[in-house]
Amino acid sequence: MNAVILVCQNTIQKEWRSKALLFLFVITFIILGILTAGLSYFNDNILTEYSMEAVATKALSMFFIFLNVWSYLISTYFGAGTVRSDSEQGVMAQMLSFPISRFEYLLGRLLGSWSLVMAYYLMSLILAVIGISLTVGKLILSFKLFIGLMLNAIPILVVIALAMTFALYLNMIQAFISTFLLTLILVSANGYFQETTVKVAIENLGVMKGLGLILYIIFPHISSWGDLANSFILDIEHKVPVLQEALHLAVTLPLLLAMIWALFRKKEV
């Protein structure tokens, strides 16, 4: 376990030092600045009939949607980057020459990247709450925000794991694009099959639909968990069957991690 913590710390340190996180914070800060400026303008010049609190909640929702999409891209970037840079700089061979198993190395890198993205996510959310609260003159903090944040940790972990898998075999750009496309396909399959009955799902099963169904069955449902997180943060109703999704996740997430480990075990460094 000590080795996992060390690799995890090293991941955080190396990504922090790469200044990528700082750049992302600056971008987030600019977006948030534009959002609060717009909110302030509305407050001073346009709004009369709506309550400021309702508008603030709407602004937070908008920011949260941006944050969600952005966090998946960041997950892809950190997931792919952490493995790829090790491989390209020759650090992976050095790391694996230590008394550490490949599983510990991979887990350390995965947890390190996950911690980074979650820290970015939390900080951005806190910034948004402060910024918007200051603009509207009322604290818009709710416990549901943090439940949403915790729920979003699941799709973030899945996207990081997918990116790491691609990065074992592809260069950074290829891994980034592949993860992005696979995530898009998974989200689409998730959206389609989640809404359909089993009967409809299996009738007229062509190649594409069959492939989508397989992906829907074997991969964790990124968008279901994202939707659930959104419903908490935006305080809206959700249609996600939570127990069913939790059971599916309990099977597919370990399966995904086991698949990555099996691939990495065979990988020649």
Partner 1 sequence: MIITAKNLTKKYGQVLALDNFSLEVSEGRCFALLGKNGAGKTTFVKSLLGLVKSNSGELSLCGEKAGTKESRKEISYLPEKFSFYPYYTLEGVCEFYGKMKGLGGSELKSEVQKSLDRLGIGNLAQKKVKECSKGQLQRTGIAATLVGSPKLLILDEPYSGLDPVGVKELQDLIIELKNSGITIFLNSHGLDSIQKVCDDFAIVDDGKLLVQGNLKELVGEGSLLDYFYEKVGKA
Does residue 96 belong to the site contacting partner 1 (CB under 8 A)? yes
Q: Select from 13-21, 56-64, 114-122, 181-189 the region that touches partner 1 (CB under 8 A).
A: 13-21
In this structure, what token pair is assigned to residue 175? 């891994």
Within 8 A by CB and 6+ apart from 24, the residues are 70, 74, 120
Which residues in the 43-62 window bind partner 1 by CB under 8 A? none
Question: Residue 92 Cβ, how far from partner 1 at the closest point, in Å?
Answer: 9
Nearest one of 183, 163, 182, 177 to 260, comparing CA atoms: 163
φ, ψ of residue 138 in degrees (nearest 5): -150, 140
Q: What is the distance, to the nearest Å, from the Cα of residue 171 to the centroid of all Cα atoms in its chain? A: 21
Q: Given candidates 45, 48, 97, 204, which one binds partner 1 under the rule CB under 8 A?
A: 97
Does residue 87 belong to the site contacting partner 1 (CB under 8 A)? no
Does residue 262 belong to the site contacting partner 1 (CB under 8 A)? no
Residue placing its CB nearer to partner 1 in the complex, 69 or 93: 93
Residue placing its CB nearer to partner 1 in the complex, 106 or 157: 106
Q: What gap in Å lies between CA 218 and CA 257, rounded to an integer?
A: 12
**Contact at 8 Å (CB) between 109 and 30?**
no
Question: Residue 6 Cβ, how far from partner 1 at the closest point, in Å?
Answer: 6
Q: Given candidates 20, 47, 73, 100, which one binds partner 1 under the rule CB under 8 A?
A: 100
- Max alpha carbon distance in the chain (Å)? 67
Question: Residue 142 Cβ, how far from partner 1 at the closest point, in Å?
Answer: 39
